[in-house]
Structure 1
């Protein structure tokens, strides 16, 4: 296949758009030529290769051709609007870098392409003086070019208790505003997939990096969905336990009974009640509560709280019979 773009970005072949962005950010920061003044030639080659890999894999058409035909396929059959001789979009590596980090003062050296005229060359580029204790982002900020990251945007994701018991797949269509490479505000829609895991609790957060709105001179905000639990008509959740109230007659409370319950995953659960039930009595059924997310295969308990329905009137014969039976 020639160049392995997936290996270049250190991502799997099923990498998502977010995976590609994270990988590019990390590697582009590491190999930018101005951060590597002592091995600039190697850094330039790596930086260009990283940018080329991202350019191909982040474009669905290019990625499909590359997956099927390899690098040669991109040369032979470039998708419409992307014609060139080597499969790399004419945007140079610095343009891609600037899309992620704002107007870049960096180039491929003091005389290389893409060198910004906004800043004078200081011989070492914007990363000069960088060492392990420095913060690369501080250098950006000092020059006024590091776009700020706005606070995350949180939105509630109401879930039925059944979903949180068995898990579910939710598709969320979002509409947002982003900035294109030329700084223009454009609308964008996307469908996000959320895999709700069995046992997730209210307050669980699912973060989609950079999927919020973007304003000029800012990075896109992160979009955060926060799990919320809808009330259930029968069950109440208490941590990993489920609580259900059950009303029984006085005769059942004394003489025993069998409860037939339907669980959240639609199973029929038969619960014999053999103990004498007093008002407020709690019967615990082990391992019939909510799944415990971090302990696969384990569940909390089902706690049945009883309410005893006393008769409103008894005949004299019934009263006498109860006294004799209860030894009164």
Structure 2
């Protein structure tokens, strides 16, 4: 079959795109001429790896190669039926193995990966100069992801628009572009939960872009606040009902109406717990925390003499 591109990259024919990239990355670093000065065998293998990657990383070239071998790939294959049918254009490797290498690693400094492991050993850098050209990553960029309790209760999808500087194809100039990042909010995510988008910050010729990190923050809610996996609700109760009993009506985050009977005397610090009516637990959304009802006793601003007498008789006798 001629040249075996799979063997050159130490792959099987069932290799995935990720396998192809992984092995080319490893072997191109291993055989790069800057790491093997004067070694013609390494230089030849570097070129072979570049051609093999150029073919196998392209779905059309790979499909032709898999079916017709090197000869069919490079000479072309029939597109139609019979001798008069059209033939595909044959493949010729452009011969620039350094371009394949630079395009693969990106940027105008392909040697940013000095410290990658090659054959299990830590590479000391091209030409023996440890760390030269190694890019440093910018610090993470943190942004608040403000969510309503309903969004965390049900789960949702948030699309966040960012503006960042992106390097142009020439590797030297840049432009400002917008990008939409999609966040799938899981039920029960707690405040402080971090969602990281690796290397989505500004690009530059001599830096690794910063990670963008979104941090969950609760939006104030008119009826509830969170405390761990529990929901806290403050019910306003007139003084008379706090002493004689009442029913508290609460609209839940999923729009149900709860009628909670209160038969105890409501004293300062008294709470009523309703099991299973809190926030979903992110690890197991079928389970929920509790609803904790706190009370704000409303005292009358004034009393008539008759009412004062009635209260005295009821409470002091």
TM-score (ref. length: structure 2): 0.69
Superposition deviation, residue 312 in structure 1: 4.7
The corresponding residue for 2:125 is: 139
One of 67, 91, 103 as aligned partner of 1:96: 103
Superposition deviation, residue 96 in structure 1: 2.3
Q: Check whether the contact 1:153–1:221 (CA below 8 A) recurs between aligned residues.
A: yes
Considering only CA atoms, is the larger Rg found in Structure 1 or Structure 2?
2
| Separation in structure 2 between the aligned mates of residue 324 and residue 6 of structure 1, nearest angstrom | 91
One of 258, 273, 283 as aligned partner of 2:272: 283
| Separation in structure 2 between the aligned mates of residue 189 and residue 170 of structure 1, nearest angstrom | 16
Superposition deviation, residue 303 in structure 1: 0.8
Whether 1:182 and 2:202 are equivalent positions in the alignment is no
The corresponding residue for 2:30 is: 34
The corresponding residue for 1:205 is: 194
Change (3 A) 1:315 1:154: closer
| Separation in structure 2 between the aligned mates of residue 84 and residue 142 of structure 1, nearest angstrom | 45
Q: Check whether the contact 2:102–2:108 (CA below 8 A) recurs between aligned residues.
A: no
The corresponding residue for 1:14 is: none
Superposition deviation, residue 265 in structure 1: 2.1
The corresponding residue for 2:16 is: 8
Superposition deviation, residue 325 in structure 1: 5.4
Alignment of 1:73-152 (within 5 A): 92-99=99-106, 102-104=109-111, 132=120, 134-136=121-123, 139=125, 142-152=130-140
Higher strand share: 2
Change (3 A) 1:53 1:163: farther
What SS does structure 2 have at the residue aligned with 1:142? coil
What SS does structure 1 have at the residue aligned with 2:165? strand
Question: Mind listing any 5+ residue stretches in structure 1 that lack a counterpart?
Answer: 12-22, 57-61, 78-82, 107-125
Q: Check whether the contact 1:280–1:307 (CA below 8 A) recurs between aligned residues.
A: no
**Runs of at least 4 residues of structure 1 off by over 4 A?**
3-7, 39-56, 83-92, 312-327
The corresponding residue for 1:120 is: none
Superposition deviation, residue 305 in structure 1: 0.7
- CA-based RMSD of the aligned residues comes to 4.2
What SS does structure 2 have at the residue aligned with 1:288? coil
What SS does structure 2 have at the residue aligned with 1:254? helix
Whether 1:227 and 2:223 are equivalent positions in the alignment is no
| Separation in structure 2 between the aligned mates of residue 5 and residue 188 of structure 1, nearest angstrom | 39
| CA deviation map 1:185-225 (0-9, x unaligned) | 13322211111111112221111112110122112221111
Question: Mind listing any 5+ residue stretches in structure 2 that lack a counterpart?
Answer: 1-5, 7-11, 80-87
Q: Check whether the contact 2:26–2:118 (CA below 8 A) recurs between aligned residues.
A: no
Whether 1:248 and 2:234 are equivalent positions in the alignment is no
| Separation in structure 1 between the aligned mates of residue 242 and residue 92 of structure 2, nearest angstrom | 79
What SS does structure 1 have at the residue aligned with 2:293? strand
Change (3 A) 1:52 1:9: same
Q: Check whether the contact 2:224–2:233 (CA below 8 A) recurs between aligned residues.
A: yes
| Separation in structure 1 between the aligned mates of residue 51 and residue 219 of structure 2, nearest angstrom | 50
Change (3 A) 1:46 1:242: farther
